[in-house]
Structure 1
Amino acid sequence: MAHESKGYALVTSFTPGPNNIMSLDSARRLGLKKAFPFLLGVTAGCFAIMLLACYFNLALYHFLPRFKIWMNVLGSLYMLYLAVKIAKSKSSTKDNDHNGGYTFKSGLLLQFINLKVILYGITVISTFVMPYDDSYIALFIISLLLTGIGFAAIVCWAVFGALFQRFLNKYERAFNIVMALLLLYSALSIWI
């Protein structure tokens, strides 16, 4: 990958978005070990999206204008749902054994309506990869590399959530409102 594509991949992967915010919140609520199935689900879903972006990029590029509005609507509604759920959530210290919906399946399915990951995959593959190499092996390796970068990002956010769990739980209401506002911003940024 070219220097520009590495920078784009790092910035896009590590900036706030549904995956990172939800990873931080899952580790804050459950601890890092119990949040790991969710993180693995996010990673598996991200890898699937990267593969789809690689192998169907040209077709998606031609049809995206028709589907973009529906992807925007679904992605925005889901992020709004997550924002409301986080803002209204009760204290996590009362029931730390419950996974709070942070499962492998929820992490996996999140990727298929996470517009940030979908557009990231389409953009990075079409702009930085396909003009230089569109062989199946190269696309598979790039998908693994991009997924690895994404995994590093969500683990960093989850570690932050776990390390500062006590502090974040002490100020849980304020933290939940900030996280909800960040998700709301993510949903609105789709339309800006």
Structure 2
Amino acid sequence: MPFIPFLSYALVTSFTPGPNNIMSLDSARRLGLKRAFPFLLGVTAGCFAIMLLACYFNLALYHFLPRVKVWMNVLGSLYMLYLAVKIAKSKPTTKDNDPNEGYSFKSGLLLQFINLKIILYGITVISTFVMPYDASYMTLFMISLLLTCIGFAAVMCWAVFGAMFQRFLNKYERSFNIIMALLLLYSALSIWI
């Protein structure tokens, strides 16, 4: 397996803006790092499940991808648009509205199953860098674990950033929300470009 290209692709894809990273940053900004941790664990658990599914069903998905890809694109784009609108329209955090809304373990986990970026990432990295060289169950499991660890490091970095700059981001919450919504909109549009 070409490890350096594999690792480069995994790091760049994991750390660039996408639904996981943007939502992790926002959860830590709203809740603080400690209270955002269940969401981050949900994202990580979902990522691991997607990586395993990408490994064990990669050949079947790859065969049907032309038919499935359009529906995955539509569903992923619509969900990212929904998140963008929700973030853009969100009211400043006060004691009256619940900052925990949408940032549970379950929501982080379920996000992965409609997050087109992570699904296509899993399919691409496994089919390109792993399966041509070794498709043993142990290798696929270990690669899934490695990719999940890289993903966890990425969402933690974004969440730490959100927590570190919480006061600043909360002061400019409306502007921040619009920027985050635009990044999600860009993520949704980049699927079609």
Instruction: Give yes or no for TM over 0.5.
Output: yes
SS of the counterpart of 1:132?
coil
Alignment identity in percent? 87
Q: Which runs of 5+ in 1 are unaligned?
A: none
Cα distance, 1:92 vs structure 2: 1.6
Cα distance, 1:148 vs structure 2: 0.2
Across the aligned residues of Structure 1 and Structure 2, the Cα RMSD in angstroms comes to 1.1
Report the count of equivalent residues: 192
TM-score normalized by structure 1? 0.98
- Quote the residue 2:54 is aligned against: 53
CA displacement, residues 52-75 of structure 1 (integer Å, 9 cap, x when unaligned): 000010000000110111100000
Provide the C-alpha distance between the structure 1 equivalents of 2:160 and 2:97, rounded to a whole number of angstroms: 17
Provide the C-alpha distance between the structure 1 equivalents of 2:134 and 2:97, rounded to a whole number of angstroms: 47
- Quote the residue 1:85 is aligned against: 86
Give yes or no for contact 1:29–1:96 (8 Å, CA) kept in 2. Answer: no
Give yes or no for contact 1:30–1:96 (8 Å, CA) kept in 2. Answer: no
Tell me which stretches of 4 or more aligned residues in structure 1 moved more than 3 Å: 93-98
Task: Label 1:185 to 1:33 Cα distance change in 2 as closer, same or farther (>3 A).
Answer: same
Provide the C-alpha distance between the structure 2 equivalents of 1:96 and 1:44, rounded to a whole number of angstroms: 28
Matched ranges for 1:111-190 at <5 A: 111-190=112-191
Provide the C-alpha distance between the structure 1 equivalents of 2:96 and 2:179, rounded to a whole number of angstroms: 22
Give yes or no for contact 1:40–1:104 (8 Å, CA) kept in 2. Answer: yes
SS of the counterpart of 2:86?
helix
Provide the C-alpha distance between the structure 2 equivalents of 1:145 and 1:174, rounded to a whole number of angstroms: 36
Give yes or no for contact 1:30–1:97 (8 Å, CA) kept in 2. Answer: no
Cα distance, 1:153 vs structure 2: 0.1
SS of the counterpart of 1:56?
helix
Cα distance, 1:165 vs structure 2: 0.1
TM-score normalized by structure 2? 0.97
Give yes or no for contact 1:44–1:108 (8 Å, CA) kept in 2. Answer: yes
